[in-house]
Structure 1
Amino acid sequence: MIDPDALMLSRIQFGFTIAFHIIFPAFTIGLASWLVILEARWLRTGNLLFKNLCRFWAKVFAVSFGLGVVSGIVMSYQFGTNWSGYAEFTGNILGPVIAYEVITAFFLEAAFLGIMLFGWEKVGNRLHFVATCAVALGTLLSSFWITAANSWMQTPAGYAIENSVAVPVDWWQIVFNPSFPNRYAHLITGMYLTTAFAIAGMSAYMLLRARRQSEAPERIAGARASLSMALWFAAIFAPVQIVLGDLQGLAVLDQQPTKLAAIEANWETQRGVPLILFAWPDQEAQENRFEIAIPYLGSVILAHDPNGEIPGLRDVPREQQPPVLPVFFSFRIMVGLGFLMVILGAWSLWLRWKGRLFDSPLFLWACFAMTPSGFAAVVFGWLTAEIGRQPWVVYGLLHRDQALSPTVEATTIAGSLAAFVVAYSIIFGAGTYYLFKLLRRGPDPVEAIEGDDVARKPKRPLSMTSEGIESRSGSRADHPAE
């Protein structure tokens, strides 16, 4: 007999821990590739500004990476303590997939992380760059395997059921299951955008503070360069993410129609459905209240056909319907944040064309306000995907009641959940405080590191001007804001 309180508390506990965990990979995966770009630009141009920026953001990466590892470890234990039914059913398939993530990705990151962080004056420039690239590759491989595992839970393939458990039949189909390619592309682009808007927001804050305190130009050159580069990425890839999201919507329509019906709060299977801008889904009454919708636009977007058929929730029994309210609103928050990213990217292009990218306080405040937008979009996207899969843990195969440990007690889970809340508050409170302190200080001026780089100086000696980096002979070197 399943204890409903134990089930709910177990779901809350896992949701709490993974919500904390996911924000750190969402940042560090993109940040690792950002470090590769900065170091590559330093090696190509000899511009010490880019090396300085790389060393600064590497400190941020180190703290975020550590917090991500700490927050992710406890989830593995919960599979055995709270979700033994899930572990038993999926262990033959997802166990090896997670092991591949550890062997190919985590070991790669761990092997080269020390060189990347502490090897600046201990190894050659090229070897250090190889280490940075290896760490970035490790983060991408890690997300590859984790996304493959989660996608298999969404669209299981390449398996057989023997003795009431799933066993592998075709590993190629297991890893590259039907939903994996779209989900991986959508996830990685989202994480890169998370990093881009976080860097843009933090850099905008540094510029705004510099305006108030009238700081010297050399103190803000790094912030200008970071802001410019981050906004180039945002302007290009925010629209790409909208396209990837559309492809993901088509895939969900084909692979998980019940989830799509919950996302759209569509109760009856019908053609020419409207796009619901706002409503209050009433699952008890199986209808929407206070609905504001645009006729036919839902079918146009979801099926690319004004008369396209969209499935309804009433096609399945109520006990197999996902909770509509959180799925409906989390999806719209995610999409709304995505369009705000597109708008800010377009605004940055217009200001860049006008030559006022760093001179508009309103724009800088908007960038600062968008700092957490990527994190929020990733979390709400995760909520849409995972709650929309309910009541299945493995879609169509394993019900959440079957996944729960049969002997777990609600009081035990409540106690451990309270302990997690206290421990996470202390650990992540301290980590967040240190990150804010580090970001508030910002990167040191180039002159602060020139003395440590005599052997690594570029061929042309550099000096800082109010516009960027120039050679002391008077010719312009690579302008960091371009």
Structure 2
Amino acid sequence: MFGLSALDLARIQFAFTISFHIIFPAITIGMASYLAVLELCWLRTKRQVYVDLYHFWLKIFAVTFGMGVVSGIVMAYQIGTNWSYLSEFAGSILGPILSYEVLTAFFLEAGFLGVMLFGWNRVGPALHFAATCAVAIGTLISSTWILAANSWMQTPQGYAIEGGRMVPADWLAIVFNPSFPYRLLHMVIAAYLCTALIVAAGAAWQLLKRRDNPAVRKMLSMALWMILIVAPIQAVVGDFHGLNTLKHQPVKLAAMEGHWENEPGKAVPLLLFGIPDMEEERTKYAVGIPHLGSLILTHTWDGHIPAMKDFPREDRPNSLIVFWSFRLMVGLGLLMIALGVWSLWLRRGGRIFGQRLFLRFVLLMGPAGLVAILAGWTTTEVGRQPWVVYGVLRTADAVSPHGAGTLALSLALFVVAYMFVFGAGTAYVLRLIRKGPQHFEVHKAPEGGPGEGRTPMRPLSAADVQDDDEAGAVPDQLDRHPDMRRGDPGSAHPDDNKPER
């Protein structure tokens, strides 16, 4: 297929399936915590706006959670079929770690997900909040185990090789490997930023369509506060992660920076632009800032870092891909910081809700978190090459002995199936976001009968959405509801109509 080898096709298939998969867990990690915060705010204030936002974003969470489970199953399938030698060589370490993820995180999520999705008017407020928190904690535990496994493959330790296979020698060293804390924190923060940007973009869409109400204002304000606070923290965490990479994977850092030769004792520039050429072993059209590379990478004015030519040609990752994926991630991160600062400036007088240029920028930044996550994972995984377990097992030695034709066929089937299934799911999520928050009856008792509230439902039933002419309360003003005009403390709150800053 286009002159690609079986190894090339196996790597493309892995990249394709994991790129789809990482999107959905990233959303659910941030969304679950956001839902827990919304429910806590409602329990403390009894403001209807938090209930409406909770049940609005709960629908999006249900769909993305379902798609994440499906894509995760496919990931496990293609690792077992395409990378059998990896499973044989390192399975005694990777297998238990992934099993711990199922036993701790997935069981916790599955056990409380039904209560979270369908239990609002069936269980007490405290129990429902506990279920939401359990699901949120489950997503964080899941990310912990997954990042532990992947980080160990990046910086392996705590193992021994017996009979041609890796066996665990120290589980604490395996789990808490050198890159694990930085990578876990970096990914969790990225998930929170991703969710905040999606929430902000959903609110900006409503405001640009002249659908201004307390719920829309609240979700925009909360999301922008999150971006303002967390985006700079992510930059600091990324800096520490870069220093860790310099220590444990210096060739990856050299590829990220596009440096081929660095003279000892001489400052290293930061290349802003360039086209690394793997054949000519140089970065063409390089545009850099003197000393800034040393300052950022070593925190000294004349610090030295290794260059690509310091490593054998066969051990170098593709610098062209790593160089630009890293810059895409950093560039989007800087735009997130700029968005947070701009929002802080516009909060004077509540201008964040009416400044249309700002709202358009928020809307455009909606997918930026997902793109940055994909760019970051590309930097991490391509930068690890040619190793699948860094310094121990090469990628070429881990692939299964399949023919190129078999892998080409399975890849084509994956592409078609993914475009159909996840394309439809994504379109449905966008439809949900387009409708905006609806009024939710807090104390409404579940009705019986076929298809009604007392009938057992599948998880995606929580994402049910009415047509425009049936959805009675997409109000421009939430106080259209009679129970809100009465001031029912379970349905409305006087503060809901106060200006949101």
Cα deviation, residue 171, structure 1: 0.5
SS of the equivalent of 1:140 reads helix
Contact between 1:269 and 1:315, CA under 8 Å: does it hold in 2?
A: no
1:232 and 2:232 are equivalent in the alignment: no
1:404 and 2:399 are equivalent in the alignment: yes
Tell me, in whole angstroms, the C-alpha distance in 2 between the residues paired with 1:480 and 1:55. Answer: 22
Tell me, in whole angstroms, the C-alpha distance in 2 between the residues paired with 1:475 and 1:116. Answer: 24
Out of 375, 387, 393, the position equivalent to 2:382 is 387
Tell me, in whole angstroms, the C-alpha distance in 2 between the residues paired with 1:51 and 1:386. Answer: 40
Contact between 1:90 and 1:165, CA under 8 Å: does it hold in 2?
A: yes
- 1:118-129 correspondence to structure 2 within 5 Å: 118-129=118-129
Tell me, in whole angstroms, the C-alpha distance in 2 between the residues paired with 1:392 and 1:451. Answer: 57
Partner of residue 455, structure 2: none
Cα deviation, residue 88, structure 1: 0.8
Cα deviation, residue 7, structure 1: 0.1
Tell me, in whole angstroms, the C-alpha distance in 2 between the residues paired with 1:256 and 1:471. Answer: 64
Identity of aligned residues (%): 55
Out of 257, 263, 266, the position equivalent to 2:259 is 266
**Between Structure 1 and Structure 2, how many residues are aligned?**
460
- 1:173-252 correspondence to structure 2 within 5 Å: 173-209=173-209, 211=210, 215=211, 220-252=213-245
Q: Which amino acid aligns with 1:76?
A: A
Contact between 1:273 and 1:298, CA under 8 Å: does it hold in 2?
A: yes
SS of the equivalent of 2:260 reads coil
Out of 247, 253, 276, the position equivalent to 2:246 is 253
Q: Which amino acid aligns with 2:15?
A: G
SS of the equivalent of 2:366 reads coil
352-361 vs 92-101, which moves further: 352-361
CA RMSD of aligned residues (A): 2.0
Cα deviation, residue 463, structure 1: 7.6
Q: Which amino acid aligns with 1:477?
A: D
Contact between 1:393 and 1:400, CA under 8 Å: does it hold in 2?
A: yes
1:417 and 2:411 are equivalent in the alignment: yes
Out of 315, 331, 338, the position equivalent to 1:336 is 331
Tell me, in whole angstroms, the C-alpha distance in 2 between the residues paired with 1:5 and 1:424. Answer: 23
Cα deviation, residue 430, structure 1: 1.2
Cα deviation, residue 423, structure 1: 0.7
Partner of residue 441, structure 2: 449
Partner of residue 302, structure 1: 297
Partner of residue 467, structure 2: none
- 1:313-324 correspondence to structure 2 within 5 Å: 313-324=308-319
Once the two structures are superposed, residues 267-287 of structure 1 have per-residue CA deviations (whole angstroms, 9 ceiling, x without a partner) of: 114331100000011111111
Contact between 1:470 and 1:477, CA under 8 Å: does it hold in 2?
A: no
Tell me, in whole angstroms, the C-alpha distance in 2 between the residues paired with 1:25 and 1:481. Answer: 31
Partner of residue 471, structure 2: none
Partner of residue 495, structure 2: 477
Q: Which amino acid aligns with 1:249?
A: G
Partner of residue 470, structure 2: none
SS of the equivalent of 1:28 reads helix
Once the two structures are superposed, residues 168-225 of structure 1 have per-residue CA deviations (whole angstroms, 9 ceiling, x without a partner) of: 011001000000001111111011000000110111101111x2xxx5x5xx321111
Tell me, in whole angstroms, the C-alpha distance in 2 between the residues paired with 1:416 and 1:202. Answer: 36
1:27 and 2:19 are equivalent in the alignment: no
Contact between 2:260 and 2:307, CA under 8 Å: does it hold in 1?
A: yes
Once the two structures are superposed, residues 229-274 of structure 1 have per-residue CA deviations (whole angstroms, 9 ceiling, x without a partner) of: 0000000010101101111111111110000000001111433110
Q: 5+ unaligned residues in a row in structure 2: which ranges?
A: 447-476
Cα deviation, residue 319, structure 1: 1.2
Cα deviation, residue 353, structure 1: 2.5
Partner of residue 116, structure 1: 116
Cα deviation, residue 451, structure 1: 6.7
Residues 173, 423 of structure 1: alpha-carbon distance in 2 compared, 3 angstrom cutoff: same
Tell me, in whole angstroms, the C-alpha distance in 1 between the residues paired with 2:276 and 2:54. Answer: 48
Partner of residue 433, structure 1: 427
Partner of residue 273, structure 2: 278
Tell me, in whole angstroms, the C-alpha distance in 2 between the residues paired with 1:25 and 1:79. Answer: 18
Contact between 2:317 and 2:385, CA under 8 Å: does it hold in 1?
A: yes
Partner of residue 458, structure 1: none
Residues 415, 304 of structure 1: alpha-carbon distance in 2 compared, 3 angstrom cutoff: same
SS of the equivalent of 1:279 reads strand
SS of the equivalent of 2:5 reads helix
262-271 vs 138-147, which moves further: 262-271
Partner of residue 144, structure 2: 144
Tell me, in whole angstroms, the C-alpha distance in 2 between the residues paired with 1:186 and 1:480. Answer: 34
Contact between 2:487 and 2:494, CA under 8 Å: does it hold in 1?
A: no
* TM-score after normalising by structure 2: 0.89
Tell me, in whole angstroms, the C-alpha distance in 2 between the residues paired with 1:252 and 1:78. Answer: 28
Cα deviation, residue 452, structure 1: 2.3
Contact between 2:35 and 2:132, CA under 8 Å: does it hold in 1?
A: yes
Cα deviation, residue 26, structure 1: 1.0
Tell me, in whole angstroms, the C-alpha distance in 1 between the residues paired with 2:30 and 2:331. Answer: 21
Contact between 1:264 and 1:276, CA under 8 Å: does it hold in 2?
A: yes
Once the two structures are superposed, residues 11-36 of structure 1 have per-residue CA deviations (whole angstroms, 9 ceiling, x without a partner) of: 00010000011111111100000000
Q: Which amino acid aligns with 1:233?
A: M
Tell me, in whole angstroms, the C-alpha distance in 2 between the residues paired with 1:138 and 1:365. Answer: 35
Partner of residue 371, structure 2: 376
Q: 5+ unaligned residues in a row in structure 1: which ranges?
A: 455-461
1:464 and 2:456 are equivalent in the alignment: no
Cα deviation, residue 47, structure 1: 0.7
Once the two structures are superposed, residues 334-392 of structure 1 have per-residue CA deviations (whole angstroms, 9 ceiling, x without a partner) of: 00000000000000001112421101001111000000000000000000000000000
Contact between 2:48 and 2:493, CA under 8 Å: does it hold in 1?
A: no
Contact between 1:463 and 1:472, CA under 8 Å: does it hold in 2?
A: no
SS of the equivalent of 2:325 reads helix
Residues 311, 472 of structure 1: alpha-carbon distance in 2 compared, 3 angstrom cutoff: same
Residues 40, 317 of structure 1: alpha-carbon distance in 2 compared, 3 angstrom cutoff: same
Once the two structures are superposed, residues 305-330 of structure 1 have per-residue CA deviations (whole angstroms, 9 ceiling, x without a partner) of: 11111101111111110000000000
Q: Which amino acid aligns with 1:419?
A: L
Cα deviation, residue 49, structure 1: 1.4
Partner of residue 365, structure 1: 360
Residues 268, 50 of structure 1: alpha-carbon distance in 2 compared, 3 angstrom cutoff: same
Tell me, in whole angstroms, the C-alpha distance in 2 between the residues paired with 1:450 and 1:144. Answer: 35
